[in-house]
């Protein structure tokens, strides 16, 4: 009888120890993930994300694909239809989901809760995945210029980093596809989608490579600040338009100072995120910014970082003021030390964590 009790006791003890071990291992994995995520992101950026620009085989691939015209786009054919270029954005613009417009105090409370601090971002180059869909109406009432700028940057920075990251992932996938001897049907369909998205002729890989690339974060922030008066303009507050993009076919807001006969409007967006995406698509496809893309490609091929002060020189056609507009952008970039954010990367969001390669299972 005592022997049976001892055996049963031993089995129960072993079961408890096994359960505790599994729980401890799961807890250790989760803790390790949160602790090592920032370290891993920095390591991955340094060792993987830039690999396509330091690998010598890439230069050989460029010469083969471009036939000696490394920096040239094919501008004999242009997908100028706004609906085709922005089809994914226009689809989301029709979303029936109502976004919540938070007050400045609510947003500040959120930033404080998640410990979102710009000085920390400048130091660590890591951005909290905060997604604010609409600007707060009270932003125009913030009398302290420094605080108003800080609020604006905190809102738009994660959105710009997120969209640039999508392009970075697409660009990496493009180069992986090009490195293969043959492609799957899924890869071919993906390429067809990207040709359409970037207004590129079918199979024009050279032009697609030039257009499918990032815009420096500092340049995007500076343009958003200039176009919206640091988030206080009517277009930004009523139409989520951060970059003042015109439309002749889409839904938009009519400029108050528009001359008689002018039919254009400033495009409206369902969210600030879509405005950022449309802006990047605009700079990456419109013929007015061909020289910007050419300068960017030269920097890439020389293994140089994308310098906003260099690329901004090719934005004279973005505004009627021409070279004066460039000077204003460069002044905003320098005075606000915006280049500190150019290497910023986003920390994993809750959705990213849900897709993490491990799960905690209760035993």
196 with 305, same domain: the answer is yes
In this structure, the answer to whether residues 17 and 162 fall within a common structural domain is: no
Q: Exposed e or buried b for every residue in 72-102, given b needs 16+ CB within 10 A?
A: ebeeeeeeeebeebbeebbeebeeeeeeeeb
Provide the token pair at 102: 């938070």
We report the CATH number of the domain holding residue 321 as 1.10.530.10
The set of residues, in sequence order, having a beta carbon less than 8 Å from that of 296 and lying 6+ positions away, is: 210, 213, 306, 311
Residue 345 in domain: yes
Tell me if 141 is assigned to some domain.
yes
Q: Mark whether 36 and 102 lie in a shared domain.
A: no
User: Are 38 and 131 found together in one domain?
Assistant: no
DSSP conformation class of 266? E
Q: Determine the structural domain holding residue 12 and report its residue range.
A: 1-49
Judge whether 359 lies within some domain: no
- In this prediction, residue 90 carries a pLDDT of 86
Task: Kindly give the interhelix angle for 145-178 and 217-228, rounded to the nearest 10 degrees.
Answer: 140
Q: Which residues of 322-351 are buried (b: 16+ CB within 10 A; e: fewer)?
A: eeebbebbbebbeebebbbbbebbbbbeee
Report whether 98 contacts 225 (CB < 8 A).
no
Kindly state whether residue 204 falls inside one of the protein's structural domains: yes
At residue 354, the pLDDT reads: 54
Are 190 and 326 within one domain?
yes
Q: Domain check: are 257 and 170 in the same one? A: yes
For the entire predicted model, the pTM comes to 0.78
Same domain, 240 and 168: yes
Is there a domain that residue 361 lies in? Answer: no
Which pLDDT score is estimated for 351? 63
With the C-alpha atoms ordered 194, 197, 201, 202, is the resulting torsion angle positive or negative?
A: positive
Q: Quick one: 60 and 200 in the same domain?
A: yes
Q: Which residues contact 223 (CB under 8 A, 6 or more apart)?
A: 243, 279, 315, 318, 329
Which segments of the chain have a pLDDT < 70?
Answer: 1-71, 75-81, 250, 258-261, 350-363
Structure tokens of 170? 């697409």
331 domain residue, yes or no: yes
Q: Provide the number of structural domains found in the chain.
A: 2
Residue 348's pLDDT is 82
Q: Do 88 and 7 share a structural domain?
A: no
In-domain check, residue 333? yes
Residues 93 and 27 both lie in one domain: no
Say whether both 42 and 188 belong to one domain: no
Residue 205 lies in a domain: yes
Q: Note the pLDDT tens digit of each residue in 302-358.
A: 999 999 999 999 999 999 999 999 999 999 999 999 999 999 999 987 665 455 444
Q: What is the pLDDT of residue 255?
A: 81
Is 178 found in the same domain as 139?
Answer: yes
């Amino acid at each position: 009888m005592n022997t049976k009790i001892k055996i049963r006791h031993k089995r129960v003890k072993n079961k408890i120890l096994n359960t505790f071990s599994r729980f401890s291992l799961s807890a250790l994995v989760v803790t390790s993930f949160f602790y090592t995520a920032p370290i891993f992101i920095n390591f991955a950026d340094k060792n993987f994300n830039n690999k396509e620009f330091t690998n010598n085989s890439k230069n050989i691939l460029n010469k083969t694909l471009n036939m000696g015209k490394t920096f040239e786009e094919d501008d004999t054919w242009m997908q100028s239809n706004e609906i085709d270029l922005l089809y994914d954005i226009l689809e989301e613009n029709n979303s029936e989901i109502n976004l919540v417009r938070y007050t400045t105090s609510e947003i500040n409370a959120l930033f404080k809760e998640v410990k979102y601090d710009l000085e920390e971002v400048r130091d660590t180059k890591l951005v909290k995945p905060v997604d604010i869909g609409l600007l707060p109406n009270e932003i125009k009432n913030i009398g302290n210029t420094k605080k108003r700028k800080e609020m604006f940057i905190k809102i738009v920075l994660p959105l710009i980093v997120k969209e640039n990251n999508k392009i970075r992932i697409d660009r990496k996938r493009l180069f992986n596809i090009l490195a293969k001897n043959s492609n799957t049907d899924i890869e071919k369909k993906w390429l067809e989608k990207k040709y359409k998205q970037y207004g590129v002729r079918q199979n024009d890989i050279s032009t697609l490579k030039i257009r499918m690339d990032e815009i420096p974060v500092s340049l995007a922030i500076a343009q958003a600040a200039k176009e919206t008066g640091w988030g206080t303009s009517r277009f930004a507050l009523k139409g989520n338009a951060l970059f003042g993009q015109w439309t002749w076919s889409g839904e938009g807001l009519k400029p108050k100072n528009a001359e008689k006969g002018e039919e254009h409007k400033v495009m409206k967006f369902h969210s600030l995120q879509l405005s950022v995406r449309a802006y990047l698509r605009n700079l990456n496809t419109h013929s007015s910014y061909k020289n910007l893309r050419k300068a960017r490609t030269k920097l890439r091929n020389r293994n140089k970082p994308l310098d906003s002060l260099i690329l901004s020189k090719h934005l004279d056609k973005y505004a009627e003021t021409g070279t004066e507009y460039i000077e204003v952008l460069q002044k905003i970039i320098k005075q606000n030390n915006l280049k500190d954010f150019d290497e910023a990367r986003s920390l994993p969001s809750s959705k990213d964590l849900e897709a993490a390669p491990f799960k905690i299972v209760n035993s």
